[in-house]
Chain A
Amino acid sequence: EIVMTQSPATLSVSPGKRATLSCRASQSISSNLAWYQQKPGQAPRLLIYRASTRATGIPARFSGSGSGTEFTLTISSLQSEDFAVYYCQQYDKWPPITFGQGTRVEI
């Protein structure tokens, strides 16, 4: 099973600043990685797939990078609506599909 490890667990950032979230896979997953945003009481929303491709309707301030075992989600200028929990997920070697434990982005 591929273990996904996200860091940090909590990220405190001011509005307008840059946020950088990390995700590490326990073995190479090529670029088969997705990022999700989840707000309280809502289902997760796909932000990025194939490590760096923005999903439809996702603002350009969200960008993904990386391949192999190291991945990054960058939010270039945090807006108030971006404060949420972010999860990475691998879909390269499955089953099982595995998620990271999440990074909470807070003010």
Chain B
Amino acid sequence: EVQLVESGGGLVKPGGSLRLSCAASGFTFSNYNMNWVRQAPGKGLEWVSSIGTGSSFIYYADSVKGRFTISRDNAKNSVYLQMNSLRAEDTAVYYCTRDTAMIYWGQGALVTVSS
């Protein structure tokens, strides 16, 4: 059974940092592109970042470029999102997903940016 489990969410002050992790299981992790998608409270879905199988490509939404860094560790079956210089508008549930047609989603990690 495919599972994606996010961790690392929490409350952080504006300007602070947080690192999200996503642990994958049930499939050959190294063979798949991975993504982060977020959803602000009461709002729609927003793509944040994608990383290729061997980190062959890395893309970011303009809203997070220069502040967020995606990475992966195929030996640990994990993908990460390092979030720096956080703003109130980054408050959201962050989902880890697989593939560009996102068949698998984690349960989400809530990130709250507030003083």
A contacts with B, residue count (CB < 8 A): 23
Contact with B along A23-42 (1 / 0, CB 8 A): 00000000010101010000
CA distance A29 to B50 in the complex (A): 19
Q: Does A96 contact B (CB under 8 A)?
A: yes
Please give me the residue from chain B that is nearest to A43 by CB atom.
Answer: B105
Complex Cα gap A23–B45 (Å): 15
Q: Which of B53-96 contact A (CB under 8 A)?
A: 59-62, 95
Say whether A91 contacts B61, CB under 8 Å: no
A67 to chain B, nearest CB (A): 15
Complex Cα distance A99/B39, Å? 11
In the complex, the answer to whether A50 meets B101 with C-beta atoms within 8 Å is: yes
Which residues in window 97-111 of B have CB below 8 A to A?
100-103, 105-108
Q: Does A71 belong to the interface (CB within 8 Å)? A: no
Determine if B45 and A44 form an interchain contact, defined as CB atoms under 8 angstroms apart.
yes
Q: Chain B contacts of A43 at CB under 8 A? A: 95, 105-108
Residues of A near any B CB (own CB < 8 A)? 32, 34, 36, 38, 43-46, 49-50, 55, 87, 89, 91, 94-102
